[in-house]
């Protein structure tokens, strides 16, 4: 058996998240079906993260133990040939036996994309969250710096969050504009359930004047979910990089 570290990308639109669920299409389910077609035997896929329904990945890492003579390049092309067109293997490489995509993950970077326009774009419907109200990306880029550092992010965790320890370290946060797209990029050692989407929703409250520009430290120290902003919808969220 060889342990393979495999990097993929997927559009989450047609899937109920990464993690396998009975009778629902998931990315993990499609990957395990593809391994079965390629190798003729069941293969366990260990993903670096769960993702919610509709969330995308530009880079998502998993590992799998495979008993095969096929080389990494063959694994990549073989899987791509049997996977649906909205899931792509970017890279396959042999890894040490103790490599585990989730346990050894040192951090992740997410992007959240807002289509900031009065005009609907049919081709961005599943790829970005549309908000017509003008966004002051410079103001939000200043405000978001208050997320950086080690904090207890309990106020930015969905009610369903089951973690005892809600302290996380945000490495970096920035907000920038590319024409009518506003892009939020955040990296950290780990993220609570819905944490990225709640930080973006909180920044939108700051944009709209419902919260002050300097209100993030107070919300963090309150540990009160009700003081943060709304959870923005999943289709704007991309897992962008995974660090080991």
**Catalytic positions, written as ranges:** 52
CA 77 – CA 207 distance, rounded (Å)? 45
Minimum separation from the CB atom of position 171 to a second copy (A) = 26
Choices 63-71, 100-108, 120-128, 179-187 (CB under 8 A): range interacting with a second copy = 120-128
Q: With CA atoms as reference, report the closest residue to 238 among 4, 74, 13.
A: 13
Choices 8-16, 142-150, 202-210, 214-222 (CB under 8 A): range interacting with a second copy = 8-16
| 178 forms part of the interface with a second copy (CB under 8 A) | no
Tell me the two tokens of residue 69. Answer: 């003579």
Q: With CA atoms as reference, report the closest residue to 184 among 119, 118, 116, 126.
A: 116
CA 191 – CA 49 distance, rounded (Å)? 10
Q: HSE of 56 in the Cβ direction (CA atoms, 13 Å)?
A: 20
| 90 forms part of the interface with a second copy (CB under 8 A) | yes
For residues 166 and 154, is the Cβ–Cβ distance under 8 A? Answer: yes
Alpha helices by DSSP H, listed for 25-183, are: 27-39, 72-82, 137-143
| 86 forms part of the interface with a second copy (CB under 8 A) | yes
Closer of 3 and 117 to a second copy (Cβ)? 117
Residue of the chain from 2, 9, 107, 213 that contacts a second copy (CB under 8 A) = 9
| 148 forms part of the interface with a second copy (CB under 8 A) | no
| 46 forms part of the interface with a second copy (CB under 8 A) | no
| 130 forms part of the interface with a second copy (CB under 8 A) | yes
CA 14 – CA 29 distance, rounded (Å)? 12
| 24 forms part of the interface with a second copy (CB under 8 A) | no
Choices 121-129, 155-163, 182-190, 209-217 (CB under 8 A): range interacting with a second copy = 121-129
**How many CB atoms are closer than 10 A to CB 4?**
21
CA 111 – CA 175 distance, rounded (Å)? 10
174 three-class SS: strand
Closer of 93 and 152 to a second copy (Cβ)? 93
Q: With CA atoms as reference, report the closest residue to 185 among 91, 74, 82, 110.
A: 110
| 56 forms part of the interface with a second copy (CB under 8 A) | yes
Closer of 11 and 51 to a second copy (Cβ)? 11
Helices 72-82 and 27-39 cross at an angle (nearest 10°) of 110
Choices 81-89, 152-160, 163-171, 196-204 (CB under 8 A): range interacting with a second copy = 81-89
Residue of the chain from 96, 122, 179, 209 that contacts a second copy (CB under 8 A) = 122
Using CB under 8 A as the binding criterion, the count of chain residues that bind a second copy stands at: 22
Interface ranges with a second copy (CB under 8 A): 9-11, 56, 80, 83-90, 119-123, 125-127, 130
């Amino acid at each position: 058996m060889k342990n393979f570290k495999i990097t993929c990308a997927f559009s989450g639109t047609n899937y109920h998240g990464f993690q396998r669920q009975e009778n629902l299409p998931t990315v993990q389910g499609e990957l395990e079906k593809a391994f079965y077609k390629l190798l003729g035997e069941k293969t366990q896929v260990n993903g670096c993260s769960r993702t919610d329904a509709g969330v995308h990945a530009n880079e998502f890492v998993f590992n799998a133990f495979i008993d095969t003579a096929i080389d990494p390049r063959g694994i990549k092309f073989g899987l791509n040939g049997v996977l649906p067109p909205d899931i792509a293997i970017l890279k396959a490489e042999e890894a040490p036996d103790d490599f585990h995509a989730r346990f050894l993950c040192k951090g992740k970077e997410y992007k959240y994309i807002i289509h900031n326009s009065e005009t609907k774009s049919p081709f961005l419907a599943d790829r970005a969250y549309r908000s017509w109200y003008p966004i002051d990306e410079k103001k939000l880029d200043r405000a978001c710096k208050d997320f950086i550092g080690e904090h207890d992010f309990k106020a930015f965790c969905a009610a369903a969050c089951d973690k005892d320890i809600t302290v996380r370290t945000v490495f970096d946060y920035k907000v920038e504009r590319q024409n009518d797209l506003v892009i939020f990029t955040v990296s950290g050692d780990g993220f609570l359930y819905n944490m990225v989407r709640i930080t973006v929703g909180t920044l939108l409250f700051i944009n709209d004047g419902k919260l002050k520009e300097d209100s993030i430290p107070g919300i963090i120290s309150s540990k009160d979910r009700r003081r943060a902003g709304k959870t923005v919808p999943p289709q704007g969220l991309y897992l962008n990089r995974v660090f080991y």
